């Protein structure tokens, strides 16, 4: 009896070894989100498998920020040897204290098997994506940029001094990220540098000095674009004009601004697989030229696609049209949400919805089928009336011939 029991458990172990977990991969392995209170941020997680069979997964949030993470409900099906993108939304509560919070997104793949009558041997592998959410204060009030100065009139080969003055409004040290780009008259980049070593003391007024070498600059007219970022938030932007071999007077700070006038979707026919043109108009309402591009997120349900157009130079007071092409992969209602990013800043977002139909069947050269049916009916009716008139005429003549 003991030998039979031992043989039974050996068989069970052999059968169990035949049941393996579906090969599951999830990327990225960690997600970091930085935002102010009330901010909402979307991230994409990719689920992949190299299994010969399809897998089904569920997503669940965990940790201190579980309530801040919205994942798709129900099962997510992934075809064999393929991958699927899933959108996860992070919403920071309006009353969340500043600081870092940890959590995770758990991706679970369920595999059920039955071997020689043994059930319940399914293996359920799970992968955890680490989540870190940093809640920051409203960064826009932390400090002010009180002035940007650059001489106008340097000689060729001379270094160009650029001074940026700050005033702190906080009681702690601030370490902003300062980036400087020099553009030529056609808005092509000639020089770029970043300073992440400057520290603004609590309540202090301080000035940071940049030295721009002019040896690589060609021509007489140039533009200096200055961006200031803190804690991942773009706070300040300015574009100054520089003329080599011109007057030596200092120019005032020029703060750029702009508006997104419109956003709409159009096309000859909004059908699956046919391009949809998403058009936007941007107005440069400032007094300095800007580099602007359209950034879009086109979504249907939980799936979305990011589209970005090429940067264009827009002069003060001018308007510029931007066109992005999107090819829908399925039919249904889509929503495009976009904004214009210009010289480091961005406009308010606008939305445009559009309906995509399954196919163009029932349409002939752009004319609805019912119009053809109506036209055919009219032709048939006319033919009947003419035939009746001919028949009537011959009938009358025949009767008159018989009387004569």
Edge to edge, the sheet with strand 160-168 lists 143-149, 160-168, 205-212
| Residuewise pLDDT in 10s, the chain (404 residues) | 444 444 433 343 433 333 334 478 898 989 988 777 788 889 999 998 888 888 899 999 999 899 999 999 989 999 998 999 999 999 999 888 878 899 999 999 875 433 333 233 334 468 899 999 988 766 556 677 888 888 766 777 778 888 888 888 776 677 888 888 888 877 888 888 888 888 888 888 888 888 888 777 777 778 888 888 876 677 777 788 877 764 444 445 566 788 888 998 876 556 777 888 899 999 998 888 888 999 999 988 878 888 988 888 888 888 999 999 888 888 888 889 999 998 878 888 898 888 888 765 434 344 556 677 888 889 988 988 888 887 777 776 666 666 55
Give the number of other CB atoms < 10 A from CB of residue 364.
Answer: 10
CATH class in words for 139-243: mainly beta
Does residue 67 contact residue 92 with C-beta atoms inside 8 Å? no
Report the distance separating Cα 108 and Cα 121, nearest Å.
Answer: 16
SS3 69: strand
Q: Which residue has the tokens 């936007």?
A: 280
Report the distance separating Cα 332 and Cα 334, nearest Å.
Answer: 7
Six token digits for residue 133: 């959410």
At the topology level, CATH places domain 22-113+122-136 in: Immunoglobulin-like (2.60.40)
Report the distance separating Cα 282 and Cα 324, nearest Å.
Answer: 14
What is residue 195's predicted lDDT score, i.e. its pLDDT? Answer: 83
Same fold, 22-113+122-136 and 139-243: yes
- Cα angle 253, 255, 258 (rounded to 5 degrees) comes to 160
CATH 3.30.200.20 corresponds to the domain 258-356: no
Q: How far is CA 378 from the centre of its chain?
A: 52
Burial class (CB in 10 A: 0-12, 13-18, 19+), 87: middle
Domain ranges, ordered by start, for the chain: 22-113+122-136, 139-243, 258-356
């Amino acid at each position: 009896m003991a030998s039979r029991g031992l043989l039974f458990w050996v068989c069970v172990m052999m059968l169990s070894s035949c049941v393996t977990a579906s090969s599951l991969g999830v990327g990225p392995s960690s997600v970091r989100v930085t935002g102010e209170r009330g901010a909402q941020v979307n991230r994409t997680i990719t689920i992949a498998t190299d299994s010969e069979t399809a897998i089904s997964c569920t997503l669940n949030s965990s940790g201190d920020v579980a309530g801040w993470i919205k994942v798709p409900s129900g099962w997510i099906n992934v075809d064999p040897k393929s991958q699927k993108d899933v959108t996860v939304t992070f919403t920071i509560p309006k009353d969340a204290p500043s600081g870092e919070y940890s959590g995770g997104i758990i991706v679970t793949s369920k595999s059920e098997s039955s071997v020689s009558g043994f059930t319940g041997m399914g293996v359920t592998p799970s992968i955890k994506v680490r989540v870190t959410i940093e809640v920051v204060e409203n960064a826009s009030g932390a400090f002010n940029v009180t002035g940007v100065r650059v001489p106008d009139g340097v000689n060729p080969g001379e270094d160009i001094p650029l001074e940026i003055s700050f005033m702190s409004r906080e009681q702690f040290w601030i370490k902003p990220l300062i980036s400087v780009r020099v553009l030529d008259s056609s808005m092509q980049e000639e020089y770029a540098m970043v300073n992440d070593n400057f520290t603004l003391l609590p309540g202090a007024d301080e000035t940071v000095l940049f030295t721009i070498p002019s040896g690589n600059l060609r021509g007489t007219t140039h533009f200096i674009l200055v961006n200031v970022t803190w804690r991942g938030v773009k706070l300040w932007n300015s574009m100054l004009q520089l003329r080599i071999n011109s007057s030596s007077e200092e120019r005032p700070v020029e703060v750029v601004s702009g508006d997104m006038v419109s956003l709409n979707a159009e096309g000859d026919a909004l059908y699956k697989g046919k391009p949809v043109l998403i058009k936007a108009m941007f107005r440069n309402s400032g007094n300095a030229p800007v580099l602007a591009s359209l950034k879009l997120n086109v979504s249907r349900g939980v799936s979305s696609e990011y589209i970005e157009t090429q940067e264009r130079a827009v002069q003060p007071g001018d308007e510029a049209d931007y066109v992005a092409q999107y090819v829908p992969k399925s039919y249904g209602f889509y929503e495009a949400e976009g904004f214009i990013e210009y010289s480091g800043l961005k406009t308010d977002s606008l939305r445009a919805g559009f309906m995509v139909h399954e196919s163009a069947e029932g349409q002939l050269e752009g004319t609805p089928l019912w119009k053809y049916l109506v036209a055919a009916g009219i032709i048939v009716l006319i033919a009947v009336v003419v035939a009746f008139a001919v028949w009537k005429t011959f009938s009358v003549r025949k009767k008159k011939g018989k009387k004569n």
